[in-house]
Structures are given as structure tokens and as C-alpha cells.
Amino acid sequence: MMKIGYQGVPGSYSETALQEYKHAHKLQDVTAIGYSSFKALIDEIEDGHLDLIVIPVENSTTGLIARTVDLLRYRSLVAIDENYQSIQHYLWGLEKSEINTITEAYSHPEALSQCDTFFANHPHITAKAYEDTAKSAQFIAEEGSIHQAALASKRAGELYGLKQLAASVQTESMNTTRFYIMAPNEKVTLKGDILSLYIETKHESGALAKLLQVFTLFDCNMESLNARPIAGKPFTYGFFMEVDVSKSTVPFELLWQTLEQVSEHLQVLGRFDSALTNKKG
């Protein structure tokens, strides 16, 4: 039996991404296991209790999801695939609730930030941070107050028997979250056009420029570059980056050896074919 972990409860966007991956790869006999935190999720797969995990890494509205990707540093995990979820936030309440009776809307902070226009247009509703979108729907169902509502997916609201008060309230209509499907690195052979890396450069003048020149030299197209503070080293930064290596004609080992020469820490976070390219094809 394959065990796949995610953060949250049934109805969360992570669990939906998991189900899509399961069906796309025709996986049989799969147990989906929800965890209360991303750290617990990552610890469980590193301890050998899970085969795969699904974890959000980027949002089209708010960018890099730092609270998750920061946890991937110095870990023995790699992304073997990606999944994109259209994030459509619905406002859910009880059967007797109406939008004008709602004074508090609960959801994950990331979801709340994606609906700032809705809150600006409904000043009588206060945004309340909660640990998870689907859990906020579960919370509203259990609390039983007509003055409280949840921002969650359509699936989550229906799953917990709530009444839809408003649909697609996110500011960006094309709001999308990207998920990594990750496995222990010793159990997979990495391949694909997209290479995901975490790199800490030498603390010297021109260090980042030297790093980027390597990708130019090997004909790798930079897809994304994000700087994040390094714990315990104030005002020192590491870099999460993704590059398209599809046009590179040199052996991967040579690229890796060259990157090692301009890095103090070099970590593969994953390698896979772009899901967007696959959808276009």
C-alpha cells in the first residue's frame, strides 16, 4: 500500500492535488494521510512513514510560499512532479446565514491575503486567520454561529454541509497554487526538463553573478529565482531557483560540478517535466 501525505483535512487544496496526482498516474491502493503541519509532514516522510508528500510551493498571486519551501532546505527530499490547482475561494456559512449577517470569515492567512478586495468591499466582515482552508470550513460547521463563515474550496464547503454565501471571491480570477509531489531522494531517479535547486553562494563580491553565468554557459533558461534569509546568519541569503535544462547538451554531471565550484551549499530540490508544458501539449 502506498501512503501519500498532505497538510490539512479532506477538502483542502493539497488533498485535491493529491487526488489528481493519484488518478493521473492510475495509482491503486493509496492511503491519503493528513497532517496538522508541514513540518510534521516532512518529518514523517524523512522517517520512512510515507512514500510521497504533496506540498504547496508557489502561488500565482502571492508568489513563493516561504513557510513551506524554507522547510525543504537541508532535507533528503526531491520533487518528482508538480500539480497546479485553480484556487477558487468560496464564502461558506450555515444554512440560516446570509452574507450581511457574517461578521467574521476564517481561513488560512494565505487564502485571506488572496481575497483582500472582497474584504475591502465588505468592511463589516473581519478576516480571521485559521490553520487551514478546509479546517476552517469544518470549524464553522462545528461552531454553529450564523455570524461566522469560512473561505474554502467548493469541495470543502460541500463536504462539511455548509451553505454557499459567495463564489470565487479571490482578487485574481486566475489565482493558482503550484504543488510539488516529493519523494525520498534515495528512492527515485530524477529526470525531466525542470531542475529545482536551493543554493547558498560564497559570501563575496559577484558570487551571485558567477552562479548565474553558469546557467548561461550551459544554455539553461532561468524560470524563477527567490532569495530567502539563512537561519542563524543575519542578512545572509540562500536562493531557490528553477531552470529549464531542456536545451542543455552537456552531461548533467558537468553542470553539477561547475555549480559546486561557485556554491557553498548545493541541493537538488527536484527534477520533473513541466505540468504546464504537458497541458499545452
Q: Which domain holds residue 147?
A: 89-166
Q: What percent of the chain is modeled with pLDDT above 90? A: 90
Cα–Cα distance between 132 and 108 in angstroms, integer? 5
Helix, strand or coil, per DSSP, at residue 66: helix
The whole-number pLDDT of residue 280 equals 40
Return the percentage of the chain with pLDDT > 70, whole number.
98
Nearby residues of 153 by Cβ (< 8 Å), 6 or more positions away: 11, 12, 13, 16, 87, 88, 89, 90, 133, 134
Contact 129, 109 (CB under 8 A): yes
Q: Do both 231 and 132 map to the same domain?
A: no
Res. 187 pLDDT band, cuts 50 70 90: confident
Q: What is the pLDDT of residue 277?
A: 61
Residues 252-268 have a mean pLDDT of 96
Q: Are residues 68 and 181 in the same domain?
A: yes
CATH for 104? 3.40.190.10
For 99-133, how does the pLDDT look when each residue is reduced to its tens digit (9 = 90+)?
999 999 999 998 999 999 999 999 999 999 998 89
Whole-number Å distance between alpha carbons of 105 and 37: 21
- The count of domains in the chain is 3
**Type of residue at 51:** D
Quickly state the pLDDT bin for 203 (edges 50, 70, 90). confident
Predicted local confidence at residue 279, as pLDDT: 43
Which of 166, 198, 231 delimits the end of a domain? Answer: 166
* Residue 204: inside a domain: yes
How far is CA 208 from each of CA 20, 205, 259, rounded to the nearest angstrom?
38, 8, 11
C-alpha cell, 202: 560564497
DSSP-H helix ranges across the chain = 13-24, 38-46, 66-69, 109-113, 116-121, 133-143, 154-159, 207-217, 252-261, 275-280
pLDDT digit string, tens, across residues 11-68: 999 999 999 999 999 999 999 999 999 999 999 999 999 999 999 999 998 899 999 9
Please check whether residues 80 and 101 belong to one and the same domain.
no
Q: Mark whether 210 and 179 lie in a shared domain.
A: no
**42 and 160 share one domain:** no
Quick check: is 279 in a domain?
no
CA distances, 87 to each of 57, 148, 151, 253 (Å): 14, 21, 11, 38
229 and 119 belong to one structural domain: no
